Structure 1
Amino acid sequence: MRQHGIATRLLSIYDASIFSLAAFAQTLPHPQYLIPPSIDPLADKNIELPKDEVEKVYEEFKLDRVRPILLQVSRFDRFKDPIGVIRAYRMAKQSNHSLQLVLAGGSADDDPEGEAVLREVQAETAGDPDMHVLLLPPDAHLTINALQRAADVVMQKSLKEGFGLTVTEAMWKGKPVIGGDVGGIRLQIVNHHTGFLVKTPEGAALRIRYLLAREDKLRELGAKAKAFVQENFLITRQLREHLTLMLALLNAGQDRINLSNGNSGVS
Structure 2
Amino acid sequence: MQLVKTGPKRYEDYRELMDIETGLQLEYYAKRLSGKRIAMVNATSYGGGVAEILHSLVPLVRDLGLEIDWWVLEGSNEFFTVTKIIHNCLQGQGETLTPEARALYLRYNEQNAAAIKDWDYDFVVIHDPQPAALIRHRNDGGRAKWIWRCHIDTSTPDPECWDFIYQYIKDYDACIFTMSDFVKENESLPGLTIFTPSIDPLSPKNRALEKEKVEEIVSRFGVDVGRPLITQISRFDPWKDPLGVIDVYRIVKKDFPSVQLALVGSMATDDPEGWDYLYRTLRKAGEDYDIKVVTNVNGVSGLEVNAFQSASSVVIQKSIREGFGLTVSEALWKRVPVVGGNIGGIRHQIDDGINGYLVETVEECADRVLTLLRNATLAAEMGEAGREKVRQNFLITTNILNYLRLFDSLHGQEEAIKQR
Match of 2:356 in 1: 195
Contact 1:91 1:205 in 2 (8 A): yes
Q: 1:15 aligns with which of 156, 170, 173?
A: 173
Instruction: Calculate the TM-score normalised by the size of structure 2.
Output: 0.56
Q: Is this contact kept in 2: 1:77–1:107, CA < 8 A? A: no
Q: Work out whether residues 11 and 28 of structure 1, in 8 Å CA contact, stay in contact via their aligned partners in 2.
A: no
User: Using a 3 Å threshold, how does the CA distance of structure 1 residues 248 and 112 change in structure 2: closer, same or farther?
Assistant: closer
What's 2:368 paired with?
Answer: 207
Match of 2:293 in 1: 133
Moved more, 17-26 or 71-80: 17-26
- Output the aligned Cα RMSD: 2.5
Give distance in 1, aligned partners of 2:181 and 2:368: 27
Identify the match of residue 332 of structure 2 among 171, 175, 180.
Answer: 171
SS state of the match for residue 330, structure 2?
helix
Helix, strand or coil: the match of 1:227?
helix
- Given candidates 8, 20, 35, the residue that maps to 2:195 is 35
Greater displacement, 189-198 / 22-31: 22-31
The alpha-carbon distance between structure 1 residues 58 and 243, as it changes in their structure 2 partners (threshold 3 A), is: closer
Distance 1:185 1:63 in 2: 27
CA distance in 2, matches of 1:169, 1:239: 18
In the superposition, relative to structure 1, how do residues 244 and 109 fare at CA in structure 2: closer, same or farther (>3 Å)? closer
Q: Unaligned 5+ residue runs, structure 2? A: 1-159, 415-420
2:382 maps to 221
1:114-155: CA deviation from partner (whole Å, max 9, x where unpaired): 233222222222222211111224971111011111111001
Shift of 1:63: 1.3
Out of 30, 40, 44, the position equivalent to 2:204 is: 44
Residue type of the alignment partner of 1:180: G
Of 227-236 and 47-56, more deviation after overlay is shown by 47-56
Report how far residue 167 of structure 1 moved.
Answer: 1.1
Q: Which of the residues 228, 237, 248 maps onto 2:409?
A: 248
The residue identity in structure 1 corresponding to 2:215 is: E
Identity %: 41
- Judge conservation of contact 1:57–1:63 (CA < 8 Å) in 2: no
Paired letter, 2:330 = E
2:245 aligned with 1:85, yes or no?
yes
**Larger mean Cα displacement after TM superposition, 41-50 or 86-95:** 41-50
Q: Does residue 143 in structure 1 map to residue 304 in structure 2? A: yes
Task: Report the Cα distance in structure 2 between the residues aligned to 1:6 and 1:77, rounded to whole angstroms.
Answer: 22
Shift in alpha-carbon separation, 1:4–1:198, aligned structure 2, 3 A: closer
Looking at structure 1, the residues matched to 313 and 222 of structure 2 have their Cα atoms a distance apart, in angstroms, of 16
Greater relative CO (CA pairs within 8 A, separation 6+): 1
For structure 1, list consecutive stretches of 5 or more residues without a partner in the other structure.
254-267
Kept after mapping to 2: 8 A contact 1:25/1:32: no
What's 1:239 paired with? 400
Larger mean CA deviation between 153-162 and 111-120 belongs to 111-120
The number of equivalent residue pairs is 252
How much has 1:28 moved relative to structure 2? Answer: 3.4
Alpha-carbon separation, structure 1, partners of 2:276 and 2:407? 44
- Compute the displacement of 1:176 (Å): 0.6
2-structure distance, mates of 1:4, 1:85 = 34
